[in-house]
Amino acid sequence: MKFHHFIFQLALWCALAVSARSEETRIILVGDSTVASGSGWGDGLTRLLNPDVMGINMGMKGRSSKSYRDEGWWRKVLDAKPTWVLIQFGHNDQPGKGPKLETDAKTTFRENLTNYIDELRKIGAKPVLVTSLTRRNFGPDGKITPDALVSYAESTRSVAQEKGIPLVDLYARSVEQMNHLGPEAAAAYDAPGKDAKPDKTHLSAKGEAETAKLVADEIRKAAPELAKFLKP
């Protein structure tokens, strides 16, 4: 196990141990690398929470709605006795990611989200679904080019409506944001990629902070009960 991964795991176990004993409000973030520490918006959102709230970012790089459960991460979320859980998947569920990750947007992906929601409700926790953060791939017209994330975002919206839970439509908001900025300004959101190529999926420090603001804005619209835990 790499040293930096060991340190992350140790910090996570400590946070979960504290959260399981505490009576305070615990807000857990679940998802892939576009949520995870160091590459996604999750840490940015936890910094926007009131100091009397425990925010735990359990986004994990390279996971899908399938592998997150299969590898045991979902059990850790439930064991932490969360008050609220925000769930965002889609990037690694897409075709071509391999059998350990892939789900079908219209069937198994929906089933996974539905099961997560039902299991949270069973322990008295409150789920919120989040549509996938867009990739920052622009067409010749300077606008975001739609890709397979569209179908996963549509299914996420549909499940949220069917189950009667809040939806943070990050896909729609991030597409809107990128189309407004354009490709040159949007480059400031890019994380360093392999071989010096810009990474059009993961987030720089600026991208993390600005995307977290989008999520917070959507929470204020869609989940007023959760919004009260955000800083003014």
Chain centroid offset of residue 97 CA:
18
Predicted confidence (pLDDT) at residue 4 exceeds the cutoff of 60: no
Count each helix (H run) and each strand (E run) in the chain, helices first.
9, 7
pLDDT(59) > 80: yes
Q: Where do the structural domains in the chain lie, given as residue ranges?
A: 3-227
Q: Cα(205)–Cα(182) distance, rounded to whole angstroms?
A: 19
**pLDDT per position as a tens digit, 112-170:** 999 999 999 999 999 999 999 999 999 999 999 999 999 999 999 999 999 999 999 99
Q: How far is it, in rounded angstroms, from Cα 64 to Cα 205? A: 23
Residue 202 has pLDDT above 60, yes or no: yes
Bridge partner residues of 84 (DSSP): 27, 126
pLDDT at 104: 98
pLDDT (tens digit per residue) in 116-127: 999 999 999 999
- 12-17 mean pLDDT: 55
* pLDDT given at position 198: 79
pLDDT digits (tens, 9 = 90+) for 48-58: 999 999 999 99
CA atoms within 13 A on the CB side of 188: 10
Task: Output b/e per residue, 152-187; b: 16+ Cβ within 10 A.
Answer: bbebbbebbeeeebbbbbbbbbbbebbeebeeeebe
29, β-bridge pairs: 57, 86
Helix (H, G, I), strand (E, B) or coil at 168: strand
> Nearest-5° angle of CA 93, CA 98, CA 104?
40
- Give the C-alpha separation, 77 to 153, whole Å: 23
Task: Please give the helix or strand (H or E) that residue 133 lies within, else none.
Answer: none
Topology at the third CATH level for domain 3-227: Rossmann fold (3.40.50)
Q: Please give the model's pTM, rounded to 2 decimal places.
A: 0.90
Q: How far apart are CA 35 and CA 27, in angstroms?
A: 14
Q: What local confidence, expressed as pLDDT, does residue 9 receive?
A: 52
Cβ-proximal residues to 52 (8 Å cutoff; 6+ apart), any chain = 24, 25
pLDDT band at residue 24 under the 50/70/90 scheme: confident
Q: Which of 5-9, 21-25, 79-83, 119-123 has the lowest mean pLDDT?
A: 5-9
Give the CB-side neighbour count of residue 38, counting CA atoms within 13 A: 5
